[in-house]
C-alpha cells in the first residue's frame, strides 16, 4: 500500500473533514488524518487552520506520527507563534524522553521553530542534551546550538553554550565532533567581528587531533588559522595531506584549500614544499572522474589553482581534453584551463585540439575555441605564428561566426605583435562583407585604421588634417545624432581635446599603445588570493568574492593568503584580523602595471614623466598623470569647484569640466530633494599617477547604494552596480567595466574601493513606525540607551525640519506642542534593520535644537547624530 | 555551511517535496528556478549553479527530477553537489527508483529521510545501510526504554553495528578496472587512463580488523621488495572509504580498516600509464551527399590470446536522416538504433589477437537537412574477466577478530571499458 492515496482527497471541504478526523477517538484515524495534512502541505496548500487540532495529536507514542506532527509545527509555528507556545510543554517533555530518537527529534525540531518565546524554554533541555550520554543526542544538540544562535545570539553567548561546543570537539564520536565544528564555524561566520572562534594554539591542537572525524568543517576551520611559522604550517600540512585520499570530492577540495594557503608560508625550494606540490596534482586530476556538476565545481577551482600555481598541473593538460558528451559548461571550463596550461612544449597538441573544436556544432563552444586560439598566440610568443596560421585556416572554413570571431581575436594579436602580421590584412579584407556583428566589425575597423595610422607620421599635414576632419565629422555625428549617452560623452571629450589644443590631441592620438598581454585574462592577483581562500565555495565557482553575492556579509573580513615570514614568531592570529590594513585610506589597489596600462590603453598614455610614487604598487603606467590632467586642467578647470574637495594641493588634482559632464549622465535618478553629500576626492591623482577617483553616495529608491563616481578620463561603460547595502567602513569589491577615452574596446578590471562612508544613506525607506508601536518601543528601551545631542545654529521651523528629514527617510510620527516648543517624534531604520527612535525639540527663535535618541544599539546613535546634523545644516 | 533548503522538483519545475533546513531563504524563491534554467539554457550559459538575486540554486538532474538546494550564503558548492548525489543514492536504495511516483508513494519516509540526512544545512548520516536501521517502511511502534536506538549512530565506528554474526565468515573481493580512452580522428591516443575500484562483500562476524596487501610499488620500495621478481604497480591517486585509516596509509602504505557489513567500495585508484588500447577500432565513414553513407569498421583485440572480451558493443554514429540500413559482419550482429543515431555491432565473445570487420550501408534523402550535425565518436563497451590491465594483484587479505575465527577471502579480477571513445572524421 502506498502513500499516494493521501494526495487524492484534496477537495474543498477537506479542512472540516480533516479537523474532525484529527479529533477522532481512534489513534489510527488520527494518524491517517495527520498524514493527509502533511500531504496537503506537500502540494503547497495552506492548512494552518488545523494547528490546534494537530497540537492535540502531539501526545503520541508513535514515532512516525510524532515526526509528522513536528514537521507540521516547523511549517506553521512561525506564522502562529501564540499557538506554538502551546506545544512548548510537549517539546520540553520530549527532550527528556527515554527514547533517543524522540529526544533528538524534539531538540532538532525546537531549534527549527524560529519563535523567540520557544527558545527561552529551549536552553535548559539543550544544556542537558549536550551532555547526554548518547552521541546521537549530542550531535543533534550541537547543531541546535547553532540554530539557537541564529535566533538569539545573546543567549548562546551568555549561557556558555560555546564552551560546550569546544568541549564536544574532543568527543569520542566523529559525528558529534563534526557537528560541533560545523556549529562553531557557522556561528563565527555570522558574527565575524566577535572573536568567538578563538583560534589559539590550544584550540588548533584540538582541531588537529580531531581531524579525521569532522573533515570538511574542520578543514575549513583550520584554513582560517594563521600559523606562527613555517614549522607549524608544515606540521598542519602533514596532518591534512593524508585526507587527499578521501573519497569525497568536497573533502579533497577543502584539503587543497588548506594546502594552497599554507604553501605560502613554507620556504620555497625546500624539499617538503616541492613534494607537496607534486602531491597536489593526482587528486585534482581524479576530481575529473566525478559527476558533471562536481566536475564543474572542481574545474572552476582548478581554474583558480592554475592561475595561482600553474606548475602543479603543467604536466596534466591531457586531462582537460574535451569529450563529446561533456555538458557545455564543462567543455567551456576545460577550454579555459587548457589556455592557462598552454606552453611551448604542448602548443602543437593544444592547437590541433582547438582546431578540432572549432568545427563542432555548438556555436558558443566554437567561438570560445577560436578565441582560445588567439589567446595562445598572445600567451606563447614563440608559437604565435603557428596560432596565426591556424586562425587563417579557420577563416577558410567560411563559417560566418567562425570568421567573425577570428577577426575579433586577430585584433588582439595585432596589438601584441604590431608590424608583424600585416600581410594577412588582405585575407581579412576578403571577408569584410560577411561581418555583421558589432565586435567583429569594430575589430576590423580598428585593424584597418591602425594600419593607416602606422604611417601617419609619414603623411603630409594635409592628409593628417583630412584624417582629423574625418574625426571631427564623426564627432559631430556622435555628439549630435546619437542617442547613446556613453557615445555622446566620449564624443564631447574628444571634441574638447581637439578644440583646446590640436597639437596635444595629435600627440594623444599618436601615442604608443601599451602592449596587450596574456595577464589581461587573469583574475587580478589580490582577488585571486581571496578566491583561493574560498576554494570549494560558491565564491570559487562564481569567481567572485563572497561579499559580491551574499547579502549582509558586511564587515566580514576579506580573507587573503598568509605571507611568508620565515621562522620568526609573529604570534598567533586568525587570518581575518590581519586583513584590514588598507581600510584607512581610500585607494585603488591596482593589479598590475600593464593591466592598468591597458585599462587606459591606446591613445591616452603619453610618455610624460610623472613623479614616482613608491607607496603604490603600480607598474609602468603613466596615463593621464601629467597628460590629460594638465591638459584639461589648463583649459577647463571650472572655477566653481570648491577647493575643499581637492585636499591635495597638487595641480594634478583637478575636478575638470569633463568630470562634470560625466556626472550629468550618471547622476540621474536620485531621490529628489534628498541630501547628497558633496563629492569628495577619494583617490587623488598624485597618488595614483594621475588616475583620480572622486565620488559620493546617494540612496535611491529601492536600490540601496549607488556610488557616484567620476574617474578622470575613464568612463564606466556600465553604471557601477552595488546592489547590497554598504555599512560604514565596509569595503566592497566592485567590478566596473571601464572605457578609456581612446580605446575602442572594453577593459575589465576590479576596483577595490575602500571608502569611509556617510551614514545617512544607510536609512531605508519604510522606516516609519506605527504610532502605538513607537510608544511601546520607546518605553521598552531602557533609559540608559537614550542619548542627547544639541544641533546648533539651525534656522528651520519644525515643519521644514520634518519635511527635510522625511526626504532622507527620517519619518516624523507625531508632533506635539508643549509650552511653545515643538516636539517631533521620529523614527528611522538602518539598512541592517536597526530601528532608531528620536525626539527632536524645536523652540521657535532658538537655533539650537535638542535631539534625544533611543535605540537598542546605542553605539550607532553617535553616527546618526552626525547625519541629522548634516541633513539639517544643508 | 551548506544548503538552506532542499527541493525535489518535477520536470516542469513544480516542487514535489521540500525541506526547509535553515529558514533564511524564503521557500517561495524556488518559483524562479525553472524560468531561470530555461532562460540560461536558451542563452547557452546553463551551469549547475544559478542565481536569482541573493538566492543561489545548486542543482542536479536525476531522470525526470531536479534536485535543488538553495542558499544565500557562500556555501560549499562541492559539498552540496556530493550531498545531492548522496541523497539520490539513499532514495534509490529505499525505493529502487527515484521518480515522481516513488516520492508520492513514500512521502512520509522521504520527509523522515530528509530530516536525518541533513540538519541546519549540515549533512548528517548519509549511509543508507545505517538509516535503514531506524527508518523503515513499516510504521514502527515504539517500545519504551533506551533499547530502541539506532546502534550504529552511537558507535565510535559509525559504519558498523556491533553483534553481527555469520555462520560462515567470508569476504569477496572484486578488483574492477575501467579503461578510459580518447583517440582523435587520425588515430593518435589523446588520453588513456585506468580507473580501478576494489569492492568488498563482507560477511564477517563481530568487529574484524582487516588488512589488504596489494602489489603497490611504493610499498615495495618501502619494504625492499622491489627488484625481486614481484611485479608492482604504481598507483597514481588512491581514494578510500571512510573506514580506512588514512594516516596509516600515508605513513607506511598499509590499508587497514574495520569494514562495514555487506557491499561497499573499499577504494579506488587511478593510473595514467599508457597501455595499448585493448580494443582498437579503425573506421571509414564515407558520406555521399543526397545518396548514401558507407561505413567500414575494423575491430582488433589487442590483449593476450588466452583472454576473451565478453559482451563487446561497438556503437558507430550515423547521420540522423539515414535510412534503409544494410549490414555485413564477419562475426556478431549489427543493428540500427535510430533513436540514438547509431549502429550497434555486438560481439558476444571476442578473443585476444583476433580482428573482425563490419560494413554498413545507409541511404540518405535527396533533400539535405539544414541543421549541422556534430560528429559523435565511436564508443566501445566490453568486459574482460580474470585480467587487470594494470597488473594489480591482491597479495593478501588478513582478517583478525578477537574471537579468532578463520575467514576466507575470495578474489575476482575484471577489466571493462570506461569512457572509451574514438573520434571520427
Residue B297: which domain range? 279-385
Alpha carbon of A841: minimum distance to chain B alpha carbons (Å): 41
pLDDT tens per residue, range A212-258: 555 777 788 778 777 778 888 898 899 889 889 888 888 899 999 99
Q: What is the pLDDT of residue B425?
A: 80
Lowest mean pLDDT among A494-498, A693-697, A774-778, B294-298: A693-697
CB contact under 8 A, A61 and B74: no
Q: Are residues B216 and B340 in the same domain?
A: no
Q: Could you give the angle at which helices A100-110 and A63-76 cross, rounded to 10 degrees?
A: 0
Q: What is the ipTM of this complex?
A: 0.90
Question: pTM for the full model?
Answer: 0.73
Q: Are residues B11 and B128 in the same domain?
A: yes
CB contact under 8 A, B78 and A250: yes
Query: Which of 237-266 (A) contact B at CB < 8 A?
Result: 241-243, 245-250, 253-254
Residue B368 lies in a domain: yes
CB contact under 8 A, A246 and B376: no
CB contact under 8 A, B78 and A146: no
Which residue of chain B comes nearest to A63, CA vs CA? Answer: B142
Above 60 in pLDDT, residue A14? yes
Alpha carbon of A507: minimum distance to chain B alpha carbons (Å): 43
CB contact under 8 A, A100 and B82: no
Residue B227 zone, left/alpha/beta (φ > 0; ψ -120 to 50; rest): left
Query: Which of 323-342 (A) contact B at CB < 8 A?
Result: 323-324, 327-329
Alpha carbon of A158: minimum distance to chain B alpha carbons (Å): 22
Q: Are residues B186 and B331 in the same domain?
A: no
Count how many Cα atoms sit within 13 Å of the Cα of residue B194 in the half-sphere of its side chain: 26
CB contact under 8 A, A324 and B377: yes
Residue B334 lies in a domain: yes
Q: Are residues B189 and B224 in the same domain?
A: yes
Q: What is the pLDDT of residue B38?
A: 95
Query: Would you call A157 an interface residue with chain B, using a CB distance cutoff of 8 Å?
Result: no
CA B34/CA B210 separation, integer angstroms: 49
CA A62/CA B140 separation, integer angstroms: 7
Q: Indicate the pLDDT class of residue A197, thresholds 50, 70 and 90.
A: low
From chain A, the residues in CB contact with B15 under 8 A are 44
Lowest mean pLDDT among A297-301, A481-485, A590-594: A590-594
Q: Are residues B179 and B319 in the same domain?
A: no
Which has more pLDDT, B331 or A436?
Answer: B331
State the sign of the Cα–Cα–Cα–Cα dihedral A325, A329, A330, A333: positive
Residue with cell 514515532: A63
**Domain CATH for B125:** 3.30.450.60
**Which grid cell is B367?**
533533400
Residue B53 lies in a domain: yes
From chain A, the residues in CB contact with B185 under 8 A are 356
Above 60 in pLDDT, residue A418? yes
Q: Are residues B222 and B85 in the same domain?
A: no
The H or E element spanning position A826 is: strand A821-829
CB contact under 8 A, A245 and B239: yes
Residue B192 lies in a domain: yes
Query: Would you call A297 an interface residue with chain B, using a CB distance cutoff of 8 Å?
Result: yes
Q: What is the pLDDT of residue B130?
A: 80
Q: Report helix, strand or coil for A20.
A: helix
Determine which of A38, A62, A245 to mutate to test the interface with B (most B C-beta atoms within 10 Å).
Answer: A245
Q: Are residues B94 and B189 in the same domain?
A: no
Q: Are residues B128 and B197 in the same domain?
A: no
Residue B157 lies in a domain: no
**Which of A71, A289, A360 lies at the smallest CB-CB distance from B195?**
A289
Which residue of chain B comes nearest to A68, CA vs CA? Answer: B108
Output DSSP code: residue A672.
Answer: T
Query: Which of 333-392 (A) contact B at CB < 8 A?
Result: 352-353, 356, 360-364
Which residue of chain A comes nearest to B252, CA vs CA? Answer: A242
Q: Indicate the pLDDT class of residue A426, thresholds 50, 70 and 90.
A: confident
Q: How much is the average pLDDT of A368-393?
A: 90
Alpha carbon of B236: minimum distance to chain A alpha carbons (Å): 6
Q: What is the pLDDT of residue B254?
A: 92
Q: Which of A268-282, A542-556, A581-595, A796-810 has the highest mean pLDDT?
A: A268-282
Q: What is the pLDDT of residue A538?
A: 93
CB atoms within 10 A of CB B338: 11
Q: How much is the average pLDDT of A826-852?
A: 76
Above 60 in pLDDT, residue A583? no
Which residue of chain A comes nearest to B112, CA vs CA? Answer: A67
CB contact under 8 A, A293 and B23: no
Number of structural domains chain B divides into? 3
Q: Indicate the pLDDT class of residue A686, thresholds 50, 70 and 90.
A: very low
Alpha carbon of B93: minimum distance to chain A alpha carbons (Å): 17
Measured torsion, CA atoms of residues A234, A235, A236, A239, in degrees rounded to the nearest 10? 120
Q: What is the pLDDT of residue A665?
A: 30
Which has more pLDDT, A625 or A536?
Answer: A536
Lowest mean pLDDT among A24-38, A348-362, B181-195: A24-38
Q: pLDDT tens for chain B, 425 residues: list them.
A: 689 999 999 999 999 999 999 888 999 999 999 999 999 998 888 999 999 988 999 999 998 999 999 999 899 999 999 999 999 999 999 988 899 999 988 999 999 999 999 999 988 888 888 888 888 765 444 444 344 455 555 566 778 888 889 999 999 999 999 999 999 998 999 999 999 999 999 999 999 999 999 999 888 888 877 665 668 898 889 999 989 998 889 888 999 999 999 999 999 999 988 889 999 999 999 988 888 999 999 999 999 999 999 999 999 999 988 999 999 999 999 999 999 999 999 999 999 999 999 999 999 988 877 777 788 999 999 999 999 999 999 999 999 999 999 999 999 999 999 999 999 98
Question: Buried (b) or exposed (e) across A610-626, using 16+ Cβ within 10 A?
Answer: beeeeeeebeebbbbbb
CB atoms within 10 A of CB A566: 9
Q: Are residues B256 and B402 in the same domain?
A: yes
Alpha carbon of B271: minimum distance to chain A alpha carbons (Å): 9
Residue B191 lies in a domain: yes
Contacts of A463 (CB under 8 A, 6+ apart): none
CA B42/CA B34 separation, integer angstroms: 12
CA A546/CA A542 separation, integer angstroms: 9
Above 60 in pLDDT, residue A596? no
Q: What is the pLDDT of residue A643?
A: 32
Q: How much is the average pLDDT of A414-440?
A: 79
Q: Indicate the pLDDT class of residue A487, thresholds 50, 70 and 90.
A: confident
**Which of B111, B122, B239 lies at the smallest CB-CB distance from A179?**
B122
pLDDT tens per residue, range A37-88: 898 888 888 888 888 888 888 888 788 888 889 999 888 887 888 777 778 8
Q: Indicate the pLDDT class of residue A513, thresholds 50, 70 and 90.
A: low
- Mean pLDDT, chain A, integer: 71
Question: Buried (b) or exposed (e) across A788-809, using 16+ Cβ within 10 A?
Answer: ebebeebebebeebbebbeebb
CA A524/CA A529 separation, integer angstroms: 9
**Which grid cell is A717?**
561603460
**A with B: how many residue pairs have Cβ under 8 Å apart?**
264
Q: What is the pLDDT of residue A631?
A: 32
Above 50 in pLDDT, residue A739? no
Nearest to A792 by CA among A850, A838, A742: A850
Q: What is the pLDDT of residue A226?
A: 78
Above 80 in pLDDT, residue A357? yes
3-state secondary structure chain B: CCCCEEEEECCCCCEEEEEECCCCCCHHHHHHHHHHHHHHHHHCCCCCEEEECCEEEEEEEECCEEEEEEECCCCEHHHHHHHHHHHHHHHHHHHCCCCHHHHHHCHHHHHHHHHHHEECCEECCCCHHHHHHHCCCCCCECCCCCCCCCHHHHCCCCCCCCCCCCCCCEEEEEEEEEEEEEECCCCCEEEEEEEEEEEEEEECCCCCEEEEEECEHHHHHHHCCCCCCCCCECCCEEEECCCECHHHHHHHCCEEECCCCEEEEEEEEEECCCCCCCEEEEEEEEEECCCEEEEEEEEEECCCCCCEEEEEEEEEECCCCCEEEEEEECCCEEEEEHHHCEEEEEEEEEECCCEEEEEEEEECCCCCCCCCCCCCCEEEEEEEECCCCCCCCEEEEEEECCCCCCCEEEEEEEEEEEEEEECCC
Q: Are residues B316 and B364 in the same domain?
A: yes
pLDDT tens per residue, range A745-767: 333 233 333 333 444 455 667 77
Q: What is the CATH number of domain A771-872?
A: 3.30.310.10
CB contact under 8 A, B107 and A38: yes
Q: What is the pLDDT of residue B378?
A: 96
Q: What is the pLDDT of residue A517?
A: 60
Query: Which of 108-137 (A) contact B at CB < 8 A?
Result: 108, 111-112, 114, 134-136
CB contact under 8 A, A297 and B78: yes
CB contact under 8 A, A247 and B119: no
CB contact under 8 A, B146 and A108: no
Q: Indicate the pLDDT class of residue A663, thresholds 50, 70 and 90.
A: very low
CA A737/CA A718 separation, integer angstroms: 6
CB contact under 8 A, B122 and A178: yes
CB contact under 8 A, B60 and A248: no
**Domain CATH for B285:** 2.60.40.1170
**Which grid cell is B332?**
556478431
CB contact under 8 A, B246 and A212: yes
Indicate the residue among B132, B153, B183 that finishes a domain. B132
Q: Are residues B176 and B67 in the same domain?
A: no
Q: Are residues B321 and B202 in the same domain?
A: no
Q: Report helix, strand or coil for A828.
A: strand
Q: What is the pLDDT of residue A762?
A: 54
CA B260/CA B202 separation, integer angstroms: 7
**Which of B22, B142, B419 lies at the smallest CB-CB distance from A61?**
B142
Output DSSP code: residue A763.
Answer: B
Amino acid at each position: 500500500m502506498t502513500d499516494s492515496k493521501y494526495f487524492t482527497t484534496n477537495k474543498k471541504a477537506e479542512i472540516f473533514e480533516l479537523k474532525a478526523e484529527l479529533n477522532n477517538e481512534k489513534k489510527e484515524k488520527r494518524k491517517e488524518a495527520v498524514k493527509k495534512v502533511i500531504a496537503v502541505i506537500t502540494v503547497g496548500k495552506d492548512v494552518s487552520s488545523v494547528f490546534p487540532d494537530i497540537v492535540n495529536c502531539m501526545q503520541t507514542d508513535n514515532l512516525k506520527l510524532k515526526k509528522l506532527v513536528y514537521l507540521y509545527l516547523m511549517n506553521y509555528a512561525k506564522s502562529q507563534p501564540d499557538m506554538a507556545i502551546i506545544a512548548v510543554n510537549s517539546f520540553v517533555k520530549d527532550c527528556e524522553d527515554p527514547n533517543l530518537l524522540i529526544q533528538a527529534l524534539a531538540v532538532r525540531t525546537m531549534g527549527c521553530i524560529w519563535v523567540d518565546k520557544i527558545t527561552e524554554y529551549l536552553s535548559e533541555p539543550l544544556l542537558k542534551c549536550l551532555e547526554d550520554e548518547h552521541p546521537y543526542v549530542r550531535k543533534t544538540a550541537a547543531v541546535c546550538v547553532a540554530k539557537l544562535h541564529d535566533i538569539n545570539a545573546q543567549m548562546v553567548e551568555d549561557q556558555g553554550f560555546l564552551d560546550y561546543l569546544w568541549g564536544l570537539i574532543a568527543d569520542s564520536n566523529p559525528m558529534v565532533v563534526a557537528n560541533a565544528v560545523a556549529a562553531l564555524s557557522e556561528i563565527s561566520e555570522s558574527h565575524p567581528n566577535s572573536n568567538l572562534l578563538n583560534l589559539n594554539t590550544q584550540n588548533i591542537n584540538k582541531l588537529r587531533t580531531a581531524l579525521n572525524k569532522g573533515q570538511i568543517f574542520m578543514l575549513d576551520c583550520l584554513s582560517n588559522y594563521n600559523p606562527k611559522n613555517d614549522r607549524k604550517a608544515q606540521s598542519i600540512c602533514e596532518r591534512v595531506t593524508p585526507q587527499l585520499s578521501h573519497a569525497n570530492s568536497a573533502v579533497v577540495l577543502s584539503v587543497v584549500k588548506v594546502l594552497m594557503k599554507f604553501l605560502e608560508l613554507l620556504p620555497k625550494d625546500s624539499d617538503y614544499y616541492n613534494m607537496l606540490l607534486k602531491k597536489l596534482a593526482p587528486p585534482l586530476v581524479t576530481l575529473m572522474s566525478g559527476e558533471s556538476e562536481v566536475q564543474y565545481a572542481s574545474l572552476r577551482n582548478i581554474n583558480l589553482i592554475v592561475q595561482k600555481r600553474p606548475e602543479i598541473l603543467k604536466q596534466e593538460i591531457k586531462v582537460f581534453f574535451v569529450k563529446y558528451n561533456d555538458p557545455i559548461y564543462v567543455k567551456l571550463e576545460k577550454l579555459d584551463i587548457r589556455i592557462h596550461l598552454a606552453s611551448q612544449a604542448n602548443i602543437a597538441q593544444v592547437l590541433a585540439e582547438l582546431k578540432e573544436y572549432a568545427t563542432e556544432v555548438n556555436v558558443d563552444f566554437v567561438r570560445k575555441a577560436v578565441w582560445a586560439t588567439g589567446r595562445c598566440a598572445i600567451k606563447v610568443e614563440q608559437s604565435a605564428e603557428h596560432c596565426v596560421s591556424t586562425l587563417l585556416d579557420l577563416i577558410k572554413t567560411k563559417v560566418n561566426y567562425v570568421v567573425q570571431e577570428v577577426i575579433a581575436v586577430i585584433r588582439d594579436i595585432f596589438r601584441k605583435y604590431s608590424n608583424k602580421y600585416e600581410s594577412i590584412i588582405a585575407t581579412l579584407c576578403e571577408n569584410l562583407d560577411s561581418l555583421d556583428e558589432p565586435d567583429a566589425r569594430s575589430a576590423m575597423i580598428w585593424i584597418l585604421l591602425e594600419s593607416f595610422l602606422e604611417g601617419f607620421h609619414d603623411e603630409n599635414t594635409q592628409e593628417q588634417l583630412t584624417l582629423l576632419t574625418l574625426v571631427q565629422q564623426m564627432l559631430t555625428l556622435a555628439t549630435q545624432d546619437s542617442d547613446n549617452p556613453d557615445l555622446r560623452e566620449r564624443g564631447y571629450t574628444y571634441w574638447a581635446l581637439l578644440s583646446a589644443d590640436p597639437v596635444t590631441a595629435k600627440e594623444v592620438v599618436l601615442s604608443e599603445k601599451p602592449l596587450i598581454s596574456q595577464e589581461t585574462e587573469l583574475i587580478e592577483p589580490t582577488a585571486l588570493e581571496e578566491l583561493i581562500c574560498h576554494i570549494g565555495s560558491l565564491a570559487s565557482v562564481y569567481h567572485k568574492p563572497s561579499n559580491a553575492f551574499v547579502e549582509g556579509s558586511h564587515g566580514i573580513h576579506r580573507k587573503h593568503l598568509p605571507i611568508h615570514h620565515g621562522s620568526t614568531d609573529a604570534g598567533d592570529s586568525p587570518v581575518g584580523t590581519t586583513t584590514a590594513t588598507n581600510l584607512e585610506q581610500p585607494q585603488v589597489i591596482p593589479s598590475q602595471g600593464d593591466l592598468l596600462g591597458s585599462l587606459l590603453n591606446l591613445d591616452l598614455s603619453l610618455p610624460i614623466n610623472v613623479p614616482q610614487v613608491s607607496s603604490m604598487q603600480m607598474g609602468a603606467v603613466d596615463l593621464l598623470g601629467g597628460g590629460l590632467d594638465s591638459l584639461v586642467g589648463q583649459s577647463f578647470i571650472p572655477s566653481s569647484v570648491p577647493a575643499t574637495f581637492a585636499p591635495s594641493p597638487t595641480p594634478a588634482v583637478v575636478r575638470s569640466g569633463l568630470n562634470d559632464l560625466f556626472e550629468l549622465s550618471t547622476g540621474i535618478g536620485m531621490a529628489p530633494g534628498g541630501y547628497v553629500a558633496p563629492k569628495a576626492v577619494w583617490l587623488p591623482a598624485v597618488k595614483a599617477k594621475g588616475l583620480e577617483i572622486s565620488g559620493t553616495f546617494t540612496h535611491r529608491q529601492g536600490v540601496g547604494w549607488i556610488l557616484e563616481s567620476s574617474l578622470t578620463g575613464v568612463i564606466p561603460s556600465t553604471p557601477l552596480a552595488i546592489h547590497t547595502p554598504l555599512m560604514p567602513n565596509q569595503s566592497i569589491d566592485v567590478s566596473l567595466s571601464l572605457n578609456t577615452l581612446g580605446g575602442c574596446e572594453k577593459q575589465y578590471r576590479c576596483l577595490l574601493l575602500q571608502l569611509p562612508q556617510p551614514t545617512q544613506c544607510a536609512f531605508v525607506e519604510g522606516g516609519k513606525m506605527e504610532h502605538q508601536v513607537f510608544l511601546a518601543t520607546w518605553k521598552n528601551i531602557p533609559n540608559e540607551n537614550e542619548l542627547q545631542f544639541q544641533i546648533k545654529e539651525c534656522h528651520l521651523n519644525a515643519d521644514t525640519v520634518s519635511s527635510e528629514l522625511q526626504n532622507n527617510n527620517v519619518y516624523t510620527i507625531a508632533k506635539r506642542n508643549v509650552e511653545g516648543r515643538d516636539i517631533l517624534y521620529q523614527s528611522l531604520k538602518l539598512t541592517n534593520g536597526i530601528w532608531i527612535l528620536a525626539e527632536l525639540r524645536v523652540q521657535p527663535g532658538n537655533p539650537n535644537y535638542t535631539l534625544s535618541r533611543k535605540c537598542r544599539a546605542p553605539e550607532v546613535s553617535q553616527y546618526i547624530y552626525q547625519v541629522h546634523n548634516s541633513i539639517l545644516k544643508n | 555551511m551548506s544548503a538552506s533548503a532542499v527541493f525535489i522538483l518535477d520536470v516542469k519545475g513544480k516542487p514535489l517535496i521540500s525541506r526547509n533546513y535553515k529558514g533564511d531563504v524564503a521557500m517561495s524563491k524556488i518559483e524562479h528556478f525553472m524560468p531561470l534554467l530555461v532562460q540560461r539554457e536558451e542563452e547557452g550559459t546553463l551551469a549547475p549553479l544559478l542565481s536569482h538575486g541573493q538566492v543561489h540554486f545548486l542543482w542536479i538532474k536525476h531522470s525526470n527530477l531536479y534536485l535543488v538546494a538553495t542558499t544565500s550564503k557562500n556555501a560549499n558548492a562541492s559539498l552540496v553537489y556530493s550531498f545531492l548525489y548522496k541523497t539520490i543514492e539513499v532514495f534509490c536504495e529505499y525505493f529502487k527508483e527515484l521518480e515522481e511516483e516513488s516520492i508520492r508513494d513514500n512521502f512520509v519516509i522521504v520527509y523522515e529521510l530528509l530530516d536525518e540526512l541533513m540538519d541546519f544545512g549540515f549533512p548528517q548520516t548519509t549511509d543508507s545501510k545505517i538509516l535503514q536501521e531506524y527508518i523503515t517502511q513499516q510504521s514502527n511502534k515504539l517500545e519504551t526504554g533506551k533499547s530502541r536506538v539506532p546502534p550504529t549512530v552511537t558507535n565510535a565506528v559509525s559504519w558498523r553495528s556491533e553483534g553481527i554474526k555469520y555462520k560462515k565468515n567470508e569476504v569477496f573481493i572484486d578488483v574492477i578496472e575501467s579503461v578510459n580512452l580518447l583517440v582523435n580522428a587520425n588515430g593518435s591516443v589523446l588520453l588513456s587512463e585506468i580507473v580501478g575500484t576494489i569492492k568488498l562483500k563482507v560477511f564477517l562476524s563481530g568487529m574484524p580488523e582487516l588488512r589488504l596487501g596489494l602489489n603497490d610499488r611504493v610499498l615495495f620500495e618501502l619494504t625492499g621488495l622491489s627488484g625481486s621478481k614481484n611485479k608492482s604497480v604504481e598507483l597514481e591517486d588512491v581514494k578510500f572509504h571512510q573506514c580506512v585509516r588514512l594516516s596509516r596509509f600515508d605513513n607506511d602504505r598499509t590499508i587497514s580498516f574495520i569494514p562495514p557489513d555487506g557491499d561497499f567500495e573499499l577504494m579506488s585508484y587511478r593510473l595514467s600509464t599508457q597501455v595499448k588500447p585493448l580494443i582498437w577500432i579503425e573506421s571509414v565513414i564515407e558520406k555521399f551527399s543526397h545518396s548514401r553513407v558507407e561505413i567500414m569498421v575494423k575491430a582488433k583485440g589487442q590483449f593476450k590470446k588466452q583472454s576473451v572480451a565478453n559482451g563487446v558493443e561497438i556503437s558507430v554514429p550515423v547521420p540522423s536522416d539515414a535510412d534503409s540500413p544494410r549490414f555485413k559482419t564477419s562475426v556478431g550482429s549489427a543493428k540500427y538504433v535510430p533513436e540514438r543515431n547509431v549502429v550497434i555491432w555486438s560481439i558476444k565473445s571476442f578473443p585476444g589477437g583476433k580482428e573482425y570487420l563490419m560494413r554498413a550501408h545507409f541511404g540518405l534523402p535527396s533533400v539535405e537537412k539544414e541543421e549541422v550535425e556534430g560528429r559523435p565518436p565511436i564508443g566501445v563497451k566490453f568486459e574482460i574477466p580474470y585480467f587487470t590491465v594494470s597488473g594489480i594483484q591482491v597479495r593478501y587479505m588478513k582478517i583478525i577478530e578477537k574471537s579468532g575465527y578463520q575467514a576466507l577471502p575470495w578474489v575476482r579480477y575484471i577489466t571493462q571499458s570506461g569512457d572509451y571513445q574514438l573520434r571520427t572524421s
